[in-house]
Structure 1
Amino acid sequence: MITLKSQREIDLMKASGEFLASVHRGLRDLIKPGMDMWEIEEYVRRRCKEDNALPLQIGVEGHLMDYPYATCCSLNDEVAHAFPRHQKLKNGDLIKVDMVVGLVDKAELDVASLDFDDVPTMRRLSEDFRGGVADSCWAYAVGQVAPEVQELMDVTKECLYRGIAAAQVGNRLGDIGAAIQDYAESKGYGVVRDLVGHGVGPTMHEEPMVPHYGRAGRGLRLREGMVLTIEPMINQGTWEIDTDMKTGWAHKTLDGGLSCQYEHQFVVTKDGPVILTSQGEEGTY
């Protein structure tokens, strides 16, 4: 079922989105060559406890296991949903950090008291959460990256904003997908089909699904009050991906090429889309 969000729900998501954006801003200074990738997970956990935000990815149900971490840290040819881990980042790496959070009233729940490694409890808390959900992924260059890596990042970010710009009242989901696919493929890149954007609130993943490919003028018509994510995953080569069947989570490009992803959450309004996870002046970061 697709729900149109009230102003109260949008305000709650905006507050969580502002917190999440501040975490991404912090990661800009944290991520450097030589650092242990696990420091990203530690940083996000610490920020959540300091600001009383639930890391809502912990406990998300999977086919083989529930997701155990606050972040997804996908490196180079990893497309999405890869685990943070003890691995040194190298100069020239491309890492994508995805997270979903929700601010909580401390009078109702003291997040600092929680054991984030207690996955069953975190799953219950996440499933019961009905506050403001915020979802955003951002790509980070580790040190100095090669020109072809920077080009992939630039094209992926442009895909994100072209998709958001197409999310106008009266347009259709196919308009979003076509805007992304047409631009990415014009630059010679592949657009992942298996993973898509989605509705948000009051739970993490809701209808409608928002493909990053499609035909203009086709699909569900957009209405004021919809809250969506657009999160294009753009590959250097084929759009096809493979899944780690030991965990059921990490996805990689089928041909070993690099993949990039950017994601914002936004609300469709009569005056155009309003980004709820903005990190500042759009296009400058």
Structure 2
Amino acid sequence: MIEILNPAKVARARDTGALVAHILQTLRSRSAVGTNLLDIDRWARTMIDEAGAQSCYVDYAPSFGRGPFGHHICTGVNDAVLHGLPHDYALADGDLLSLDLAVSLEGVAADSAISFVVGESRPAESVAMIDATERALAAGIAAAAPGARIGDLSHAIGTVLTEAGYLINTEFGGHGIGSTMHQDPHVSNTGRPGRGYQLRPGLLLALEPWVMADTADLVTDADGWTLRSATGCRTAHSEHTIAITADGAEVLTLPRS
């Protein structure tokens, strides 16, 4: 299903996006050496509940997971890049942490992810990988406008990632979003310009470039959810929810000043 939101629902999506951004930034500020992933999940639950919202992950049970997910946020450490199931692990200095949060507020969802290094260490490879996903995300957003095609966004994202030297996995990518977290159209992280669904105002998309340092292959963890790099290399993931407007694209998951 491809859902086109009316102006009233887009306005509600702005509130949802702002909530997602606030929670992610709060969790980032609290994530220090020694922080347990289960504490991050607990903090996310508290903030979501206090806002009168719902996590899109608790009851999430797609065909590829061992569902339901049962937690409020995805927490990926180092080689874990997608659907990281929170577990009893204390963060160490230099860990690369990815937080992926999708929330529904008043019937409209928003989805965002951030990656950052914990503690004082700044491994060059990790910093470069995070930077590449953030630049690719910015390129995809810049390509989004009424009349553009999904392939234009995919091409923009893929060009940045490829030029940075990363292989691209096409099993998982961005997606439509609205009254539910995952909708059509699929937005691959690489593609051909001029192809695919034509964007129109009211369409919400979650764009999410992610990479692994030296592979494009994933393996599923024993928990049935966490997707890791097949080689054990580090990974990074950046995501924003955007709304297509008459003039271009509005990023909904930026923190409000």
* TM-score > 0.5, shorter chain as reference: yes
Separation of aligned partners in 1, 2:117 and 2:83:
18
SS at match of 1:137: strand
Is the contact between residue 93 and residue 145 of structure 1 (CA under 8 Å) also seen in structure 2? no
Q: 2:239 aligns with which of 263, 267, 270?
A: 263
Q: How far does the alpha carbon of each residue in 1:22-54 deviate from its partner, in whole angstroms, 9 at most, with x for none?
A: 111212210111221211111101111222111
Give the superposition deviation at 1:87: 0.6
Give the superposition deviation at 1:280: 5.1
Structure (1 or 2) with the larger CA radius of gyration: 1
1:32 aligns with 2:4: no
Separation of aligned partners in 2, 1:40 and 1:134:
19
Separation of aligned partners in 1, 2:155 and 2:48:
36
1:173 aligns with 2:175: no
Alignment identity in percent?
Answer: 31
Q: How far does the alpha carbon of each residue in 1:231-271 deviate from its partner, in whole angstroms, 9 at most, with x for none?
A: 11111111121223x44311111122111001100111121
The residue aligned with 2:21 is 21
Q: How far does the alpha carbon of each residue in 1:107-146 deviate from its partner, in whole angstroms, 9 at most, with x for none?
A: xxxxxxxxxxxxxxxxxxxxxxxx1211111112101221
The residue aligned with 1:51 is 51
**1:1-285 alignment to 2 at 5 Å?**
1-63=1-63, 64-104=66-106, 131-143=107-119, 144-244=121-221, 246-279=222-255
SS at match of 2:206: strand
| Letter of the structure 1 residue corresponding to residue 28 of structure 2 | R
Give the superposition deviation at 1:4: 1.4
Give the superposition deviation at 1:279: 2.1
Give the superposition deviation at 1:206: 0.9
Give the superposition deviation at 1:148: 1.4
Give the superposition deviation at 1:3: 2.3
Is the contact between residue 62 and residue 249 of structure 1 (CA under 8 Å) also seen in structure 2? no
Structure 2 stretches lacking a partner, 5+ long = none
Separation of aligned partners in 2, 1:173 and 1:72:
26
Provide TM-score, normalisation by structure 1. Answer: 0.85
160-169 vs 95-104, which moves further: 95-104
Provide TM-score, normalisation by structure 2. Answer: 0.94
Show structure 1 runs of 4+ deviating over 2 A.
Answer: 62-65
Separation of aligned partners in 2, 1:226 and 1:102:
16
SS at match of 1:256: coil
SS at match of 1:190: coil
Is the contact between residue 73 and residue 99 of structure 2 (CA under 8 Å) also seen in structure 1? yes
Q: How far does the alpha carbon of each residue in 1:142-189 deviate from its partner, in whole angstroms, 9 at most, with x for none?
A: 012211111111111001111111111111111111111111111111
Cα distance change on mapping 1:149 and 1:45 into 2, 3 Å: same
| Letter of the structure 2 residue corresponding to residue 277 of structure 1 | T
Q: How many residues align?
A: 254
| Letter of the structure 1 residue corresponding to residue 245 of structure 2 | T
SS at match of 1:134: strand
| Letter of the structure 2 residue corresponding to residue 74 of structure 1 | G
Separation of aligned partners in 1, 2:111 and 2:128:
25
Is the contact between residue 206 and residue 240 of structure 2 (CA under 8 Å) also seen in structure 1? yes
Structure 1 stretches lacking a partner, 5+ long = 105-130
Separation of aligned partners in 1, 2:22 and 2:162:
32
Is the contact between residue 171 and residue 221 of structure 1 (CA under 8 Å) also seen in structure 2? yes
